[in-house]
Amino acid sequence: MNLRVENLKMVGKLAVITAGMFGFGYALIPIYRHICELTGINILAVAERQVLGASSSVTPANTQVDRSRLITVEFDANARGPWDFKPEKASIQVHPGELATVMYEFRNIQARSMSAQAIPSYAPRQAAAHFSKLECFCFNQYTLAPGEIKQWPVAFVIDPKLSKDVSTITLSYTFFEVGAKTPAAPVAGAPSVMQATGT
């Protein structure tokens, strides 16, 4: 009987300790913030709060964007096989340093599943070193079921160090079936499958 009472007391003590630890952990974040504000340790957070307190809609300007010029980016799609592949827009204009995103659509019109991948190329060639893709379907292989349609984004930034002589960049993709013969990258100025078919 004494053993049972001792066990119940021990369970009660452990429950109190557990609740206390949980409460301390929950209160730790506001305590930490308060200490940082009092001591000035977290100077960045204090500065941000002061800016946001003055105007909650203020967003820091991106000083990397060169608003003094615009570059036209043309999008080309070449399909090596019986499927549809196209960008949502033929071209856009962007400032160097500005993040831009364009969607591409791929549709498997075959009666079988297929795996495919894209190869990018640029014109003029010197633009390749200044064209940074942050997200691109060309990094992966994809498998599509018969009739399946997929949309993929291309998010990119053009380096402001790009020569001022370049005002137009063509981003061209060749989409090919994995396992088939890998095609050569498209030649700049050559008509794409979309152009040849009038799409």
DSSP 80-135: ESSEEEEES-SEEEE-TT--EEEEEEEEE-SSS-EEEEEEEEEESGGGGGGEEEEE
What is the reported pLDDT for 45?
A: 40
What is the reported pLDDT for 110?
A: 87
Write out the H or E segment, with its range, that includes residue 170: strand 168-177
What is the reported pLDDT for 148?
A: 92
What is the reported pLDDT for 168?
A: 96
The fold of 71-179 is: Ctag/Cox11 (Pfam 04442) (2.60.370)
What is the reported pLDDT for 42?
A: 44
CA 180, CA 147: separation in Å to the nearest integer?
20
What is the reported pLDDT for 167?
A: 94
DSSP 56: T
Please state whether beta strands 71-80 and 168-177 pair in parallel, antiparallel, or not at all (unpaired): parallel
What is the reported pLDDT for 74?
A: 96
What is the reported pLDDT for 57?
A: 43
Residues in the chain, pLDDT under 70:
1, 22, 24-63, 180-199
- Give the Cβ contact number of residue 123 at 10 Å: 19
